[in-house]
A = this chain, B = another copy of it.
Amino acid sequence: MSIRAAVSQMGIDASKLYSDLAANMKPSMIRELLKYTARPEVISFAGGLPNPETFPLKEIKEITCDVLDKWGTGALQYGTTEGLPPFRDFLKDMYRKEGEFTDADELVLTGGSQQALDLFGKILLNKGDAVVAEAPSYLGGLNAFEVYGTKIVHVDMDDDGIKVDEFERLMKKMARSKKMPKFVYMIPTFQNPAGTCMPEKHRREFLDICNQYPDLLVMEDDPYGKLRFEGEDQPSLKKLDKDGRVLTLKTMSKILSPGMRIGIVFGPKELVQKMVVSKQSADLCSAGLTQYIAWQYMARGHVPAQLTKIQTLYRRKRDLMVKALKDEMPEGVKWTYPHGGMFLWVTVDGIDTTQLFMESIKKNVAFVVGTAFYGDGRGKESMRLNFSYSKDADIAEGIRRLAESIKEMRKAK
């Protein structure tokens, strides 16, 4: 080490300088656990990665060349904070036709949906505010909200998603104590991590309850809506909303490529415009080149065939994983049966999944522990398995090893 570096290490003590918000930031548990899974010999059901086989490389290459030929420097200059205007217009038309986008809405593009989660947290949440979320829920969302000092209040789920009667009781209780949540954060379709999908009836009941509270906002995170490979489409909360209270987050990550970092957000105009003001100071604008590519990918009509390709692949992967679970798992292990999306949720009676993780990683298989998906310490006997990413043969082998670990832990008790 150079003298200069040695001196530098005696430099300032950064920890003295941190803000109150910084104290709420913890490295994501998934991220920490994923360090174990980076080795190539590990079969990982941990990440939330789309299968790269589905990335349309040929089309992207062709489109990128065309974009650079046709729009050239325009795709390389600073863009507007709201996102590429013709792409936004295209998306507004599309979602208007699908019955989701209304004249009272505004639509903007963000750096993945994650940026929208953070920026809405930033403009809406004060220390001590509550956000209601499904139990379990997407940990990237929970983290983004918790940074602002927010308390997550969970509502239990069953195989049909959030328990609507429990939600109703909770809202009444929160209203009585004048501690209403700023919003309800929902992933109603192919929930992350549970894999469940709310039936239309439940969605309507859910919104009817929300409609009794004039200032209650609903944030619908919908990354997987188009990834249905079984059963019938259910309308989004946004589509069913008659009250202008639903804000919806879509993404190109699960359809085209997550590396493009394109989230699509629409909902009540004023709120979305306020989010844009906060995006201005957060990053000025998102990358232009990938917005042009995504726009042309959609405008050229590639999406339907791409969805079929993804759905076919993910159905096969889900089937393989469910078959392996049936074949390998001992008594007292339950799992959800997703009709779409990328995840299933497994509960193992009497087994702490953090311990299970440490055992399975010795056998080179990884998952995400259940506690990561709760803001309140629950989920100790659960885990999330991703079925979209792994190779076919790895799914069977990974589940076999996981079952082996469970059996060994049971035996050792």
Residues of A at the B interface (CB closer than 8 Å) are: 1-2, 4-5, 7-22, 25-28, 31, 47-50, 52-53, 55, 57, 60-61, 64-65, 68-69, 72-79, 81, 102-105, 111-112, 114-115, 117-118, 122-126, 129, 140, 143-144, 147-148, 182-183, 214-217, 241-245, 253, 257-261, 268, 270-271, 274, 277-278, 280-290
Q: Are B114 and A22 in contact (CB under 8 A)?
A: no
Q: Are A280 and B9 in contact (CB under 8 A)?
A: no
A224 shortest CB reach to chain B, Å: 15
Which residues of B sit under 8 angstroms from A79, Cβ to Cβ?
A: 259
Which residues of B sit under 8 angstroms from A215, Cβ to Cβ?
A: 12-13, 16-17
**Within the assembled complex, what's the spacing in Å between the Cα atoms of A22 and B5?**
40
**Within the assembled complex, what's the spacing in Å between the Cα atoms of A253 and B79?**
12
Which residues of B sit under 8 angstroms from A143, Cβ to Cβ?
A: 280-281
Which residues of B sit under 8 angstroms from A47, Cβ to Cβ?
A: 78
Name which residue of chain B comes closest to A144, CB basis: B281
Q: Are A68 and B73 in contact (CB under 8 A)?
A: no
Q: Are A244 and B11 in contact (CB under 8 A)?
A: yes
Which residues of B sit under 8 angstroms from A61, Cβ to Cβ?
A: 64-65, 68-69
Q: Are A73 and B102 in contact (CB under 8 A)?
A: no
Name which residue of chain B comes closest to A103, CB basis: B5
Q: Are A244 and B20 in contact (CB under 8 A)?
A: no
Query: Can you give 12 A-B contacts (C-beta < 8 A)?
Result: A7-B244, A11-B268, A12-B215, A14-B271, A21-B148, A25-B274, A65-B65, A76-B257, A77-B257, A111-B111, A261-B283, A287-B287
Partner of A123, one of B19, B77, B118: B19
**Within the assembled complex, what's the spacing in Å between the Cα atoms of A117 and B15?**
18
Name which residue of chain B comes closest to A102, CB basis: B5
Further pairs besides A78-B253, A289-B290: 17, Cβ < 8 Å: A8-B242, A11-B243, A12-B217, A21-B148, A22-B123, A22-B278, A52-B77, A55-B73, A61-B65, A75-B259, A76-B260, A77-B259, A78-B259, A111-B287, A261-B285, A261-B287, A261-B288
A147 shortest CB reach to chain B, Å: 5
Which residues of B sit under 8 angstroms from A68, Cβ to Cβ?
A: 57, 60-61, 64
**Within the assembled complex, what's the spacing in Å between the Cα atoms of A243 and B11?**
5
Partner of A283, one of B5, B26, B111, B241: B111
Which residues of B sit under 8 angstroms from A1, Cβ to Cβ?
A: 103
Given contacts A274-B25, A283-B111, contact A52 B64 (CB under 8 A): no
Q: Are A21 and B122 in contact (CB under 8 A)?
A: yes
Q: Are A244 and B10 in contact (CB under 8 A)?
A: yes
Given contacts A68-B60, A284-B112, contact A12 B214 (CB under 8 A): yes
Q: Are A52 and B28 in contact (CB under 8 A)?
A: no
**Within the assembled complex, what's the spacing in Å between the Cα atoms of A11 and B118?**
23
Name which residue of chain B comes closest to A53, CB basis: B73
Which residues of B sit under 8 angstroms from A123, Cβ to Cβ?
A: 18-19, 21-22, 25
Which residues of B sit under 8 angstroms from A111, Cβ to Cβ?
A: 111, 283, 286-287
A22 shortest CB reach to chain B, Å: 4
**Within the assembled complex, what's the spacing in Å between the Cα atoms of A286 and B112?**
9
